[in-house]
Structure formats: structure tokens, C-alpha cells
Amino acid sequence: MRLDAFVSRFGRFSRSESRRIIRNNGVSLNGVLTNNPSEVVDETDTVIVDGRPLEAFWNVYIALNKPEGYVCSRERSEGRSVFELIDANFSADLSTGGRLDKDATGLLILSNDGKFIHEVISPRKLVEKEYLVETAKEITKKEISMISQGLFIGNNEFSKPTHVEQIDHFHMRIVLTEGRYHEVKRLVSASGNKVIQLHRRRIGSYCLSEELRPGDWQLLSENDRKKITGT
């Protein structure tokens, strides 16, 4: 990576600002001042801008246990954002791999790797998402049968889970490979019931760690990522 691109990305400057700072001898590379924006930099180099070391990051992959009351958006008017929970210099570069509603909880994947995010959310990739659902009314066998067979959920959209399982009178497990807007809520509503609590437990074969408290996050290993996408 060129030095001006490095300073721009990790110092939060525009590309023109980073070039100006470098040419004004405001940047040192491995302890030596440089005014050459085209210097090549990699992850082993130390870059300091106006006395401040830049903390480099490359591709980042995160699992967050989303708490209730947070939105998967950066729009402040919508409420507290899940990105506020990622107190790290790479937070501004992250995107979510499948959103959860404000009142929903559970596993949320975030990354700055666009290809990875696409593999997580693309319906063509058939990545399973498992949800634990609590309903307002007692679940009937008819509702389970209707959901299993698939239902029209509005806007001429048809939703058919890959797996539906009743856990007890008021709880069921639903597994989907798509991520339509409010899909689980609309699916349960189309069966004649209502979701009062929604929790995402699994994406692919990667399960939310029971040790990860609501609001906490952890970096994903390469093996974890393979569990999510299957590749």
C-alpha cells in the first residue's frame, strides 16, 4: 500500500490531506521522516503522523452479541447503534452481515471485508440463520405446519424456512437462508401468531458463544469464518 493511502485510511484523512501532510514532513516511516507519498508500506512498518502512531488494521471479522434496543444502522435518528459497541479504530469501516431488528438480540456478524459480507447475506449462498422465537399466543401444530410449508408474507413474497421446530408452548426454532425485511416476524404473523422476542443463535455452523455477554464482541478466527460461509 502507498504511504498516502495508508495515512488516509488509518489516519482518517482525505487522500489530498494525507499527501499534504507527507510533503510537509509530518510523517515518519520506521523512525525516518519522509516526504514521499508513494513510499510502499505494509503491516510490519511503523507510521507516525504529527507524533501520533497510526494503528493499522486490515480485514477484520467480528461476532457481536447484539443487545435489545440497538439498531444495525449508523443513522442517529434511529437510536443507539451497534457500531457504538465496537470501541476500536476500525469501527467506522465495518458493515453488518445481516441486520437484526432493534428489539431483536443475538448473533451479529460485522466486517470490513465486502466479499465476506456478501457471502453471508446472499440468498444464493444458502447460509443458514437460526432464530429462537417467543410468541404471544400458544403455538399450535397447525401454525408449525403452515410455517414449515411456507407462507406468503406480504408484498407478493413467499417464505419457506429450511427447518421449523416447536420447543415448547410459546417457543419455536426457525432456520432461514434468506434475509428479507422482518422475515421471521412476518412469517409468524402470517401463521396467525405474533413474535414477542427474537434471538439469532447461529449463522452457518457458527453458534453464538454462551460466554459472550450482550454488548460484547470477539474477533473471528479463520476457522470461525469458514463455519459461517462454508468456504
| Active centre residues (catalytic) | 101
Element (H, E) at 216: none
Cell of 197: 422476542
Q: Cell for 116?
A: 465476506
DSSP, residue by residue, 38-51: T-B--TT--EEETT
Q: Are 128 and 203 in contact (CB under 8 A)?
A: yes
On the CB side of 207, CA atoms within 13 Å amount to: 4
To the nearest 10°, report the CA torsion of 78, 83, 89, 95.
Answer: -100
* Dist. CA 43–CA 6, nearest whole Å: 10
Interior CA angle at 65 toward 63 and 71, to 5°? 100
